[in-house]
Structures are given as structure tokens and as C-alpha cells.
């Protein structure tokens, strides 16, 4: 096949895989769209050409998923475009790393090259979800969120088991078409197994009872405050008044024990000013036992944090400082060391990183209060549930993006967190999308994008922990160990050849 045709196959493969990640019910594309890419890299003999194919696939795939970064209204168009391109290019290195590792290993273990392709891919996807530049947002698994029974398996394997399944289906589809039609039996088995196991896991989860002796009533507010109004000092009192008035209704008519406001609902460090703090407490909390959870910019020891704050009628109860900051938008890497980097602005801020995980407790009910981007990281959420969280609360501000698909991509990933840990998710967003998701991964209530509203529910105590919560990414670690062993053995085999 000609070079031009190979590029076309790689382009189609990456385009369809990118489209499968969009919130438009195209997840099924991922079941077969890797076949053209596999065909090219498995049959192309030129190492250099496969390097280019891998980079090309990665660039198109990540561009289709992340093009929305260029629509950030919080900065100039040029900066938004540059930020998008940098992000896409960094993510593109994932695909290059996958190919380089797989190529090295498969040359020495050609018999296992198909399964090693899957193992190496998931291993890289797993390790690239950690660190300051970690970004599980682009995991293949996120294409499958619409398939309810399939994703129930994440309570065992996490999202990486779903990515493993996608890759395995594509590999066996390729083998069935191009190598041996007899592989169709294995293909059918591989395809059907997780749907059956997912259904069984779902049925088992149905019979886990709540401890109904312990519960709290809560309300979440989506104020739909425009980003520029939020930043405008002259609008601060008007915006706060809107939040207080709606919260008073929730407390009065729903008897809410907890009222939740979104990320940075109170900007300009206002909760640290006694007058502003007492105004909220006196008008909202003083005459009842309700508590307020809200996002707030917090200053402490000459550092500025993106924080969530819990208040009661007596004042400040506790604070959580966001730990996983968005690179460039919330924190410029190395800016703590290289001071001139602190002057770089892409429309956000340069916050300090929080040091510790934290859960809040009301009436024996414990919950997280993670902020925005942290909802996409499985490990952070798992740690908090192991600390005793009965629910995962996310304070979010996606007001930087007025249109799809960013808000939808972001919100949908919360479904995985609910299933992985069998904990309800309470997602409170400024401009949307706010969600109440039960532990089965079912969205029970929502407020759509760019709408104002509030909703209420009851939170019960949870006792049971899933396999994933207890043991974490055991599945992914096994794959990583297998990849590492094979990689090390290539050097041993190479030495023996000499």
C-alpha cells in the first residue's frame, strides 16, 4: 500500500477515535476504528515512517478531542490557540511513546506482539495519568460512558480495564479480517464478556443497602454567573445576593442541612474578610443548623489557593486546597523555582498546590469537596473514599467555555467516579453542567449548560467499598509490570546476541 494510502488510514483511524470521545453517542466507533492504525504500524517496515504515523495519529486524535481549548473566553484568542497546540503536542507524545516501547519489545517477542500492543498502550495511558501533567481526560475509556453495563466493570479495573477491552476488540477484529477468520470466536467472546460481567456487577450493586439512620439533606446551586461578571468587582455584591437569596429558599422549603455553591463562587478572598464572612453567616446560617460549602480563593502564608470552604453559624469549619491544578491555566510548571514564569498569564491564575487530602463531615456523613479538574482523576477520588467519604462532591466552574463539547466531556467523566467507588457524585457547577449521580452511575437530576437553577436530594451513609476502592489500579499495575519485564528482557536478549 502506498505512503499516501497509509496516511489516509491513519487519519481516518485517529479522526473516528477522536469523534468517539465526543458527547454525541459515537462511542461505538472505538470498537473498530483502531484497525486501520494497527494495519499500518504492523505492516509498515520502516521505523521512521511508523514514527511519523504514530505522531500523526496522536496529533489528530488529541486535536479532535481538545480543540475546545482554543475557545477559552478568559484569555486572548492567540493565547488560547497556543495553549491548545501545546496541550495537543504534549498529549501526542503518548502515542509516540506507545509505539517506541511496543516496537522495541515486539522485535524480541514477535510471537506476542498483538497482546503486547494492548498491554503497552494501557500501561502508558495509566502512567500518563499521574504527575503535574497527568491528563486522564483523553483515556480511550471515556468514549464508552454511554454504555451503562459495560462501564460497570470499572468498579473492578478502573477506567483502564475499559481501555484494555477497546484495544483487545480492535486487535482481534484486525486478526479476524487480515490473518485468520477463525479468530471470530475469540472476538465474539472478548466483545461480549464485559457486557455480561458488567450486568452482574450492576445487579450486585442494587442490593447494597444505605444506612438510613444517618443522612443529610442538601441543595446545590447553579447560579450561571458570567465569567466576566464574576471577575468584576462592581458585580460582587449582586452575585453574592443572588446566591444567598436562592440558598434561603433551599433552606426554608427543603430544610437543607448543607447548601453547596460552585468553584470560586465567592471570589476576591472575601470569606477571609470578617465583614463579608459574617454577612453570609448572619443572613444564611445563623438562625438554623445549616452549613455552606463553597469555592473560594484562599490566601495563606503568602500563598494563594483555589479552595473549598465549609462554613457554619460559628464561622469557618475547614478548608481544602486544590491539589491537582490545571497546567498553565491554574499553575505554571516550575514557577515556584523560576520566578519570571509567574508573570505568564493564559487567562487564569498561578495558584499554589494543596498538600493534603481532606474530607468534611456533617452529622456523621462525610464527603469530599474536590475542585473542577480533580473529578477526572480516578486515584484522587479513590483516596478520599478510603478516608471515609460517603459521597464525592465536586465544585466546578466551566464558565471559560460557553459551548459544547468541553462542559459535556468534563461532566460525563463523573459517572465513572461514581461507579468505581459506588459513591454518589454531587457536581455543583457555576454555568453547568450540575449533576446528581447515584452509585450505580445513573444521573438522577441535572441542570443543563448555561441555565440557572438549584436542586435538592438526600445523602445517606455508605459502608461498602469496591474492589477498585480497596486495591486501586491493580489491573493497570499488572499490565505495567508485564510491560516493564518484557522491556527489560529485550536488553538481556540483546546482550546474549552479542
Q: How far apart are CA 21 and CA 139, in angstroms?
A: 9
Q: How far apart are CA 117 and CA 54, in angstroms?
A: 13
Q: How far apart are CA 372 and CA 263, in angstroms?
A: 7
Nearest Cα to 374, choosing from 358, 350, 390?
358
β-pair partners for 298: 305
pLDDT value of residue 133? 78
Instruction: Count CB atoms within 10 A of the CB of residue 92.
Output: 20
pLDDT value of residue 236? 76
pLDDT value of residue 287? 65
Whether the Cβ atoms of residue 255 and residue 288 lie closer than 8 Å to each other: no
pLDDT value of residue 339? 63
Per domain, the residue ranges of the chain are 3-206+486-497, 213-463
Burial of 389 (0-12, 13-18, 19+ CB in 10 A): buried
Q: DSSP for 271-290?
A: GGSHHHHHHHIIIIITTSS-
Stated pTM of the model = 0.92
Taken in order 471, 458, 281, 349, is the CA torsion positive or negative? Answer: positive
Burial of 407 (0-12, 13-18, 19+ CB in 10 A): buried
pLDDT value of residue 316? 84
Collapsed DSSP state (helix, strand, coil) of residue 425: strand
pLDDT value of residue 334? 66
pLDDT value of residue 347? 55
Q: How far apart are CA 455 and CA 437, in angstroms?
A: 12
Taken in order 224, 402, 450, 370, is the CA torsion positive or negative? Answer: negative
Measured torsion, CA atoms of residues 171, 177, 179, 184, in degrees rounded to the nearest 10: 70
Q: How far apart are the first and last CA of the chain?
A: 35
State which residues of the chain have pLDDT below 70. Answer: 1-3, 209, 211-212, 231, 267-275, 286-287, 334-348, 497-498
Superfamily of chain region 213-463: Carbon-nitrogen hydrolase (3.60.110.10)
Amino acid at each position: 500500500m502506498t505512503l499516501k494510502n497509509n496516511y489516509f488510514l491513519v487519519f481516518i483511524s485517529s479522526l473516528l477515535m477522536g469523534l468517539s470521545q465526543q458527547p454525541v453517542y459515537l462511542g461505538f466507533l472505538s470498537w473498530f476504528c483502531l484497525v486501520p492504525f494497527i494495519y499500518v504500524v504492523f505492516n509498515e517496515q520502516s521505523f521512521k515512517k511508523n514514527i511519523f504515523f504514530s505522531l500523526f495519529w496522536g496529533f489528530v486524535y488529541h486535536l479532535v478531542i481538545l480543540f475546545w481549548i482554543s475557545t477559552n473566553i478568559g484569555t486572548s484568542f492567540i493565547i488560547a490557540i497556543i495553549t491548545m497546540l501545546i496541550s495537543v503536542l504534549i498529549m501526542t507524545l503518548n502515542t509516540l511513546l506507545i509505539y517506541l516501547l511496543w516496537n522495541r519489545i515486539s522485535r524480541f517477542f514477535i510471537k506476542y506482539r498483538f497482546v503486547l500492543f494492548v498491554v503497552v498502550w494501557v500501561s502508558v495511558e495509566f502512567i500518563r495519568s499521574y504527575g503535574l501533567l497527568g491528563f486522564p481526560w483523553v483515556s480511550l475509556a471515556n468514549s464508552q460512558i454511554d454504555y451503562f453495563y459495560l462501564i460497570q466493570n470499572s468498579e473492578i479495573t478502573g477506567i483502564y480495564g475499559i481501555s484494555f477491552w477497546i484495544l483487545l476488540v480492535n486487535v482481534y477484529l484486525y486478526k479476524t479480517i487480515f490473518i485468520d477468520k477463525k479468530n471470530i470466536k475469540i472476538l465474539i467472546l472478548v466483545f461480549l464478556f464485559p457486557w455480561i460481567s458488567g450486568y452482574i456487577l450492576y445487579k450486585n450493586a442494587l442490593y447494597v443497602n444505605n444506612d438510613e439512620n444517618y443522612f443529610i439533606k442538601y441543595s446545590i446551586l447553579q447560579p450561571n454567573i458570567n465569567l466576566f461578571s464574576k471577575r468584576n468587582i462592581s458585580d460582587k455584591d449582586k452575585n453574592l445576593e443572588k446566591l444567598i437569596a436562592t440558598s434561603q429558599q433551599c433552606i426554608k422549603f427543603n430544610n437543607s442541612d448543607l447548601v453547596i455553591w460552585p468553584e470560586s463562587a465567592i471570589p476576591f478572598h472575601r470569606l477571609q474578610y470578617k465583614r463579608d464572612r459574617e454577612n453570609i453567616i448572619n443572613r444564611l446560617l445563623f438562625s438554623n443548623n445549616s452549613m455552606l460549602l463553597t469555592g473560594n480563593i484562599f490566601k495563606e502564608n503568602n500563598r494563594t489557593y483555589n479552595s473549598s470552604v465549609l462554613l457554619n453559624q460559628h464561622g469557618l469549619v475547614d478548608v481544602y486546597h486544590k491539589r491537582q491544578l490545571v497546567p498553565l491555566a491554574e499553575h505554571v510548571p516550575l514557577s515556584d523555582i523560576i520566578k519570571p514564569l509567574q508573570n505568564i498569564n493564559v487567562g487564569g491564575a498561578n495558584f499554589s498546590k494543596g498538600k493534603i487530602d481532606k474530607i468534611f463531615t456533617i452529622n456523621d456523613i462525610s464527603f469530599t469537596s474536590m475542585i473542577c479538574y480533580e473529578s477526572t482523576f480516578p486515584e484522587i477520588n479513590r483516596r478520599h473514599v478510603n478516608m471515609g467519604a460517603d459521597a464525592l462532591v465536586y465544585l466546578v466552574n466551566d464558565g471559560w467555555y460557553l459551548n459544547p463539547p468541553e462542559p459535556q466531556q468534563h461532566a460525563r467523566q463523573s459517572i465513572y467516579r461514581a461507579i468505581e467507588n459506588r459513591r454518589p457524585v454531587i457536581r455543583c457547577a457555576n454555568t453547568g453542567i450540575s449533576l446528581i449521580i447515584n452509585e450505580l452511575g445513573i444521573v438522577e437530576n441535572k441542570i443543563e449548560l448555561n441555565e440557572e437553577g438549584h436542586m435538592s436530594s438526600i445523602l445517606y451513609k455508605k459502608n461498602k467499598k469496591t474492589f477498585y476502592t480497596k486495591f486501586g489500579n491493580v489491573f493497570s499495575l499488572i499490565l505495567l509490570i508485564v510491560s516493564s519485564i518484557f522491556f527489560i528482557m529485550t536488553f538481556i536478549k540483546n546482550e546474549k546476541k552479542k
